[in-house]
Amino acid sequence: MKSISSKKLKGNILIPGDKSISHRLVILSSIAIGNSKIKGLLKSDDVMRTVEAMKGFGASINLSNTSNCFIDGIGLGGLAEPKTALDFGNSGTSARLIMGLCSSHPITTLFIGDTSLSMRPMQRVLNPLINFGSSFSLREDEFLPAILKGSISPIPFIFDLNEPSAQIKSAVLLGALNTPGITIVRDKFNTRDHTERLLELYGANISVKSKKSLKEISIKGIKDLKGIDVNVPGDPSSALFPIVAALICEDSDIMVKNVLINPTRDGAFEVLKEMGANINYLNHRIMAAEDVYDIRVKSSNLSGIDVPKKVSPTMIDDYPILAVAASMAKGKTCFRGIGELRLKESDRFNGILNLLKKNGVKVESNKDTITIHGKKQLKRGGIEISTNLDHRMAMSALVMGLISNKEVKIDNSKTIKTSFPNFYNLMIKIGAKLSKK
Ligand code: S3P
């Protein structure tokens, strides 16, 4: 796929369901009692990995032709031991959340994944789960394949999150559901809180207390969850691709509908507004215990800013597309404390540097900081970017092409289906010059 300089992006688009929430809805509906109806589930490759895994444990999941998904749960504690390895493809969220779930069930599960997932760290997720009484082994003590032997009689514990990872937090919370007594997780990083919000909807015995910047989440386990009827809000990280495109392409004015805005996820929106982005939130409503808006976006004159480390968990997936916005902003933008980006679907720290440098943008870096020297002018283009099986690097490169004199081409566009299957159609709909060849 490739893209080239575009102007006048116009029109309304509906953003597909949020990936994080879709994974969680499939997992929680599968272990609830009774039926759940999920409207607008994201049917991307990653979410389908969660669906297949939960079917492997015995849940009945019907993805109808409409946008609905019906799940008949097996009840808490009811996970059957899968007969074969569970293949999580590219999906870190599926693998890590499901590790948490399995850790408090008396079953042994084999986890495998694609080349990208098999290079991502797993020990930091599995180590805390040992406290429930589970045990594991990993290739080279760090990577998939993993074998996880869940606990026969799980034990609750207090866990201080020491990495800024919602996946690690959620793994422990999911393990806590089938554990008698009270498990406590303390989060000082303000990581995304969809698991907590959804657990309340399903009727879990959960309480969340905030003491200054520390959040304490307690779960009293062995309380049945009940099936729910729910609409999935649109994914803010997906929404940012057309949003940034409209901000940086001349004479644009688009409406992006159905976008989740959650304070633990909206860092990129706040940063863009601070840079001078013309973004307006309209038509507030609530879906899946989350705030949702339609967002109107117009072309804007952006200015560079300093983005501190402490906000990084609220925008962790969005640095690649923000880097593209920063390349068109006047002056310096500095992203601080972003070492975590090396552990994503690809090494995004180096991926961002490579994308910008190759396209003639001046950029500097040290251990965990990237500084981008932006200018409001079209970039060189005439480049091909290796996406390293990373959907967000692929879409960011294509948006970069929309502000480039010559084409920007990516080596692999299949990976976009990981999170945003209709990216191409929606971008074409607003007038972006993308081409499949
Ligand atoms: C996710 C958490 C984040 C994020 C990932 C989805 C989640 O990962 O990067 O895309 O759904 O909990 P970390 O928890 O590793 O930061």
Q: Which residues on adjacent β-strands are paired with residue 61?
A: 71
What residues have CB less than 8 Å from 393, skipping those under 6 apart? 320, 345, 346, 348, 351, 355, 385, 387
Instruction: Considering only the C-alpha atoms of the chain, give the largest distance between any 2 of them, rounded to a whole number of Å.
Output: 62
Q: What is the mean pLDDT of residues 90-94?
A: 98
User: Closest Cα partner for 27 from 187, 177, 209?
Assistant: 177
For residue 138, what pLDDT is reported? 98
Atom 15 of ligand 1, nearest CA residue: 165
Q: Which residues line ligand 1 at a C-beta cut-off of 6 Å?
A: 20, 93, 165-167, 170, 192, 316-317
Residue 103 CA to residue 98 CA, distance in Å, equals 8
Residue with tokens 């923000």: 322
User: Closest Cα partner for 277 from 233, 245, 316, 313?
Assistant: 245
111: DSSP letter: E
For residue 65, what pLDDT is reported? 77
- For residue 278, give the 3-state DSSP assignment: strand
Residue-wise pLDDT for 388-434, tens only, equals 999 999 999 999 999 999 999 999 999 999 999 999 999 999 999 99
Band (pLDDT 50/70/90 cuts) for residue 82 is very high
Say yes or no to pLDDT of 67 above 90: no
For residue 112, what pLDDT is reported? 98
Q: Measure 106 CA to ligand 1 centroid, in angstroms.
A: 27
For residue 216, what pLDDT is reported? 98
For residue 107, what pLDDT is reported? 98
Atom 10 of ligand 1, nearest CA residue: 317
Residues with catalytic roles: 317
Q: Measure 379 CA to ligand 1 centroid, in angstroms.
A: 31
For residue 66, what pLDDT is reported? 81
Residue among 94, 167, 393 to mutate when testing ligand 1 (max atoms within 8 A of CB): 167
DSSP for 340-366?
Answer: GGGGSSS-HHHHHHHHHHHTT-EEEEE
What residue type is assigned to position 203 of the chain?
G
Q: Measure 167 CA to ligand 1 centroid, in angstroms.
A: 5
The minimum-distance atom of ligand 1 relative to the CA of 166 is 14
Residue 246 in contact with residue 299, Cβ under 8 Å?
yes
Q: Measure 7 CA to ligand 1 centroid, in angstroms.
A: 33
pTM check: above 0.85:
yes
Residue 306 CA to residue 389 CA, distance in Å, equals 29
116: DSSP letter: T
Say yes or no to pLDDT of 45 above 80: yes
Q: What is the mean pLDDT of residues 78-85?
A: 96
Q: Measure 178 CA to ligand 1 centroid, in angstroms.
A: 23
Q: How many CB atoms lie within 10 A of CB 118?
A: 16
339: DSSP letter: G
For residue 64, what pLDDT is reported? 82
Residue 295 CA to residue 279 CA, distance in Å, equals 7
Residue 335 CA to residue 315 CA, distance in Å, equals 11
Residue-wise pLDDT for 197-229, tens only, equals 999 999 999 999 998 889 999 999 999 999 999
Atom 5 of ligand 1, nearest CA residue: 93
What residues have CB less than 8 Å from 149, skipping those under 6 apart? 108, 134, 135, 136
For residue 201, what pLDDT is reported? 98
The CA distances from residue 343 to 98, 164, 309, 335, 346, in Å, are: 19, 12, 16, 16, 7
The minimum-distance atom of ligand 1 relative to the CA of 340 is 16
Looking at every residue in the chain, the average pLDDT score rounds to 97
Residue among 260, 316, 419 to mutate when testing ligand 1 (max atoms within 8 A of CB): 316
Residue 46 CA to residue 418 CA, distance in Å, equals 5
Alpha-carbon torsion angle 357, 359, 361, 364, nearest 10: -10
For residue 212, what pLDDT is reported? 87
The minimum-distance atom of ligand 1 relative to the CA of 164 is 16
Q: Measure 102 CA to ligand 1 centroid, in angstroms.
A: 19
The minimum-distance atom of ligand 1 relative to the CA of 313 is 16
For residue 305, what pLDDT is reported? 98
Residue among 19, 20, 25, 28 to mutate when testing ligand 1 (max atoms within 8 A of CB): 20
Residue 273 CA to residue 262 CA, distance in Å, equals 15
For residue 252, what pLDDT is reported? 98
Atom 9 of ligand 1, nearest CA residue: 317
Q: Read off φ and ψ for residue 370, nearest 5 degrees.
A: -120, 130
Quote the strand ranges of 224-313, DSSP E. 229-231, 253-260, 278-287, 290-298, 306-307
For residue 437, what pLDDT is reported? 83
**Please, what sign has the CA dihedral across residues 371, 376, 377, 379?**
positive
